[in-house]
A and B are shown apart, each in its own frame.
Chain A
Amino acid sequence: MSRYIATRALRGATGLVREADEMLTKVIAEKGADTPVAFPNTAYYLPTVLGLTGMEVQTLGDLVPVVERAKSLLHPVPPSALWKPYLGDTLDAGVATLLAAETIEGVRFVRGTQPERWPGFEMGGGTEYPHLEDGHLNGPIDDIQLRSWGIQLVDGRMPGFAAIVGCAKSNEVAVQLVRELQQRSILIFLSGNVNGRSIIHQLQEEGVEMGYDTYIVPFGTDTISAIYALGFATRSALTFGGMKGGQPREILLYNKFRVFAFVLALGEVDDLKYAAAAGAISYGFPVIADTVIPEIHPTGVTRYEHVISMPFNEIEAKDDLERAKKMVQKAIEVRGVKIQVTEVPVPVPYGSAFEGEVVRKNDMRIEFGGKYSRAFEYLCMAGMDEVEDGKISLVGPGFEEVPETGHMDLAIVIRVAGRKMQQDFEPVLERQVHYFINGASGIQHIGQRDIAWIRISKNAAEKGFNLNHFGEILIARFHADFGAIVDKVEVTLYTEPDQIEEWLEKARAAYDFRNRRLADLTDEAVEEFYSCTLCQSFAPNHVCVVTPQRLGLCGAYNWLDCKASFRINPTGPNQPIVKGTCIDPVKGYWTGSTEFTRQASHGTVEDVTMYSIMENPMTACGCFECIVMLIPEANGVMVVSREDPSMTPAGMTFSTLAGMAGGGLQTPGVMGVGKYYLTSPKFISADGGFKRVVWMSSFLKESMAEEFKAVAEREGVPDLLDRIADETVCTEVDGLVEYMAEKEHPALAMEFMF
């Protein structure tokens, strides 16, 4: 907390409260305490006073206790010896300022000096004042408009509001600021001045229409009229938040978490502006100034920084217009306003219906990756200041010069930034590139990382699809689908050989890092597992517990996916399960996972182990990639993959077995799992681990040969896979036992499974 800000805010507040006090005394003496006081067309009296104090002001006399309350909130200016003035004093001063400001505006309405007169001023829609014939500014927003805008603020169509106080560097900058905000559907409130000039003057001179119709509301040319912005915010909480007058804490919190507003302080900041800013901060609204002022970075009262100073002339940009743009971007970022991108701007149809589309060689305009060229995609996170949202760059030539059905190298590098982004989410997001790009009609995407393979059809190329459109797609979709964790996305497409070489090295280093990170990610190393109840729609009592070393049985959700999914959709099917106390580290019992499963399975599953097939095994819905089943005679288990239609030593095919393994039923000895769980050190580790596998569908053996080889080595039996039978060896128990004896399968020498 800056002592400078505290001092000035306290001084400003003290001055304004005194002014309010004097004005009130005078007007009561002149007009009497019973004179009615009201803002036009509102059922909320003086709304900020009502919200923060519960006082329903109807007459001048009712304002006396309001001013008294304001006085009681004033604390002495901190002496120079006190280095850390308590933030609370400053916030109190802010609230005192708001009470005083609303008192003053109330008095002005009584005196007929509000709304501010402005002969000839025309507005497109505004609060109606039937008695005023000539031009005027808007004054407070009426209840009708509050409800209409409120609905849009609450449902998210309107991300928030910007209260602009003061005067921009130039008329040009003023217009640009307003346009930038309008483009994002942010509501704009104008007030204040610097040496008599207000942004309202600037916009009027430039012919910008103001009024409800254009979402630009000119409150007044003094700082005091900024109170109408907070009156609007307060009434939002009262109307849409179900709060009552006199619930200041609830109202302020409502605004902090639900009303995405911020203050842009343009030009010199005087004591009163500091005081008013302190009031805004109480509502959780940060202040961004275009001059040099002390900053308040620690977060708390607001969601992120409290006060940001962006001296306008020092913003790095090519001209003032770009500076204005950057200032708005910064404001949005500091407040955490989320902007919705609705459409994917590409010249071909876009939607998930096109995901499975194949582009055949003959229909192909060009391909990247595959047999003849290289393509890779790499997503990494960067600092908020290092990513320019929405920027797409192409480094190197496009594919226009490449002959038909030709090929070229391509690197897609995506840089994302977000306050809630974590490095662990990089691979989760990167894998989405496949789905996102595939959504475009006429584009085929296969693979991921450095085995990506992309084709663009002739048809799509004829419609004008070019490399930049990959950027458009990715930016739009990351914002739309992952907006909860991603604030900024920038895409660079490289076709230039040296650059590709350089980035490929970086990407491979990252892939390698991620692989090792995954290997280090053990069940012991984390505090939380994640649930997955996505399948309860058809298996109502099934719960997947996803741990770092046991991915979801469908193979589609690993622990990191679930973690990201929870951030994106906090009420969704992936909820964190705090592990709690470990009851049995070998079988894998934790208090947390047991309790969660019991509750989410609606009492069907009493107890669940993470690592045993024999004791309270985890249930399955029906989406499993393979079924693991005990073969008692072999003292081991068989693994059948869902691709395998053949008979198995259990005397049943996959589809028959699926009935036993699925449906959320706990059947000791039978378990549906994801195939990558087979390679986990925690794969039925309580029962002996991978060495228990005596039979396995040849499809699995072949498709995961490399992975299993590593597992066999880890388990100390390098040729284990050769000792495991498959459907080409035998499909009944006798043959299996014979084969095992012949191959000296290690399971024969292990202790009995039950």
Chain B
Amino acid sequence: MPVEIPKEKWTGQVREVTLGATAADGGTRSHTVTVGGETTLPFLYFEGQMPHRPLVALEIKDRKPDDWSLLLEKAWGDAMAGPGDWAKAAEEAGADLICLTFYLTGPDGEDNTAANAKTAIRKVLDATGLPVAACGPGQAEIDNELIVAVAEEAAGERLLLGLCEDRNYRTIVAAALGHGHLVQARTAMDVNLAKQLNILINDMQLPLDRIVMDPTTGALGYGIEYGYSVMERLRIAALQGDSMTQLPMIVTPGEEAWKAKESKVGEGVPEAWGDWEARAVNWEVLTATSLIESCADIVVLRHPESVRRVHAMIDAMVGA
């Protein structure tokens, strides 16, 4: 008996957003990457299009981390010492995008500075040809200081600048406008707040094709279902034709997964939990792949092995 696969008739389409600029467009990237363009939920090729694969970004810091797992230190080794080497190593590990995030302070507890931010982004841009995202530490004043400096230093590179949040987005958006970049709009797991922030940013004259939404996620076992559901609803609203939700989504499963006890702790845990490293990487990979299923266009990871495995999952899903 022939089985008819039911198909949803969506009317909307996610906007395509291109990150990075090559020399032809006033930047220095070796190539650009594009996300978005979906006319259906992830990988449902029988129903609609998903013209671009989800991207895997690797997060690197502006200095050697002092709060990252030993496992990550082991994986990255000396490359972690500076953002340039690290960016290069991340490119070699197969990242599609480098996500440079800044610490609030320098190694000795002093406030991070605009000058340091400029140096760091310059090193990253010189070390890799990949498109780059740059995020502040999440404290309004310092975020603005650092990201404005980054925007200036990397003028024309079409970086993805973050984090724009409802209480602090204007300066970063202004910097993106002034220097030709994109922004990452983060809201706390809420469809309407996400939509509202998009409206507010767009209202400052930044075109919608220069905004990527970050609806926020939790790690596997730490609220991922909440984030999953919000992302799914955002995307369904987009496909139903709500133009202010028709933006690609970026989430940070790496940061979240490595905060989970299961990845963080290697000792004093039940034996049934098995090998620490395998478990930690699994945690990150499962978090990331679940989020890709719930419509993430960019996942930001931390472990190189996770990148390989998430790529493998995407390959399998797109039938590559």
- Residues on A lying within 8 angstroms of B by beta carbon are 147, 150-157, 239-242, 254, 258, 533, 536-537, 540, 571-573, 602-603
> Of the 9-residue stretches B31-39, B186-194, B306-314, which lies at the interface with chain A?
B186-194
In the complex, what distance in Å separates the CA atom of A533 from the CA atom of B236?
A: 18
In the complex, what distance in Å separates the CA atom of A254 from the CA atom of B204?
A: 10
> Of the 9-residue stretches B63-71, B79-87, B103-111, B171-179, which lies at the interface with chain A?
B171-179
In the complex, what distance in Å separates the CA atom of A40 from the CA atom of B248?
A: 40
* Count of residues in B whose CB is under 8 Å from the partner chain: 28
Set of chain A residues within 8 Å of B191, measured between Cβ atoms:
536-537, 540
Set of chain A residues within 8 Å of B174, measured between Cβ atoms:
150-155, 240
B127 at the A/B interface (Cβ < 8 Å)? no
Nearest 4 A/B pairs, CB to CB = A155-B170, A154-B174, A155-B171, A151-B174
**Which of chain B's residues 196-213 have a Cβ closer than 8 Å to chain A?**
196, 199-200, 203-207
Taking a contact as CB atoms under 8 Å apart, the answer to whether A151 and B178 are in contact is yes
Q: Chain A interface secondary structure, helix, strand, loop or mixed?
A: helix
Taking a contact as CB atoms under 8 Å apart, the answer to whether A151 and B175 are in contact is yes
- Residues on B lying within 8 angstroms of A by beta carbon are 144, 148, 152, 170-171, 173-175, 177-179, 189-193, 196, 199-200, 203-207, 233, 236-237, 240
Q: A673: shortest Cβ distance to chain B, in Å?
A: 23
In the complex, what distance in Å separates the CA atom of A151 from the CA atom of B206?
A: 13
Taking a contact as CB atoms under 8 Å apart, the answer to whether A241 and B171 are in contact is no
Known: A154-B177, A254-B205. 19 other contacts (CB 8 A): A150-B174, A151-B148, A151-B171, A152-B174, A154-B174, A154-B204, A155-B171, A156-B170, A240-B178, A242-B177, A258-B205, A533-B192, A536-B190, A536-B192, A537-B192, A537-B193, A540-B191, A540-B233, A572-B196
In the complex, what distance in Å separates the CA atom of A536 from the CA atom of B206?
A: 27
Taking a contact as CB atoms under 8 Å apart, the answer to whether A147 and B179 are in contact is yes
In the complex, what distance in Å separates the CA atom of A124 from the CA atom of B237?
A: 53
In the complex, what distance in Å separates the CA atom of A571 from the CA atom of B204?
A: 13
Set of chain B residues within 8 Å of A156, measured between Cβ atoms:
170
The residue of chain A having its C-beta at the shortest distance from the C-beta of B210 within the complex is A242
Set of chain A residues within 8 Å of B175, measured between Cβ atoms:
151
Set of chain A residues within 8 Å of B200, measured between Cβ atoms:
571
What is the number of contacts between chain A and chain B, taking CB atoms within 8 Å? 62
The residue of chain B having its C-beta at the shortest distance from the C-beta of A154 within the complex is B174
Set of chain A residues within 8 Å of B233, measured between Cβ atoms:
540, 602
Beyond A147-B152, A572-B196, A602-B237, whether A155 also contacts B173 by CB under 8 A is yes
Set of chain A residues within 8 Å of B206, measured between Cβ atoms:
242
Q: A338: shortest Cβ distance to chain B, in Å?
A: 13
The residue of chain A having its C-beta at the shortest distance from the C-beta of B190 within the complex is A537
Q: A147: shortest Cβ distance to chain B, in Å?
A: 5
In the complex, what distance in Å separates the CA atom of A122 from the CA atom of B189?
A: 54
Q: Which of A239, A533, A540, A573 contacts B177, CB < 8 Å? A: A239
Q: Which of B148, B179, B190, B196 contacts A571, CB < 8 Å? A: B196
Set of chain A residues within 8 Å of B240, measured between Cβ atoms:
602-603
Taking a contact as CB atoms under 8 Å apart, the answer to whether A150 and B237 are in contact is no
Set of chain A residues within 8 Å of B193, measured between Cβ atoms:
537
The residue of chain A having its C-beta at the shortest distance from the C-beta of B175 within the complex is A151
Set of chain B residues within 8 Å of A573, measured between Cβ atoms:
192
The residue of chain B having its C-beta at the shortest distance from the C-beta of A572 within the complex is B196
Set of chain B residues within 8 Å of A240, measured between Cβ atoms:
174, 177-178, 205
In the complex, what distance in Å separates the CA atom of A392 from the CA atom of B87?
A: 57
Q: A698: shortest Cβ distance to chain B, in Å?
A: 38
The residue of chain B having its C-beta at the shortest distance from the C-beta of A242 within the complex is B205
In the complex, what distance in Å separates the CA atom of A258 from the CA atom of B152?
A: 22
Set of chain B residues within 8 Å of A572, measured between Cβ atoms:
196
Listed A/B pairs (9) with beta-carbon separation below 8 Å: A147-B152, A150-B178, A152-B171, A154-B204, A240-B174, A242-B177, A242-B205, A537-B191, A537-B192
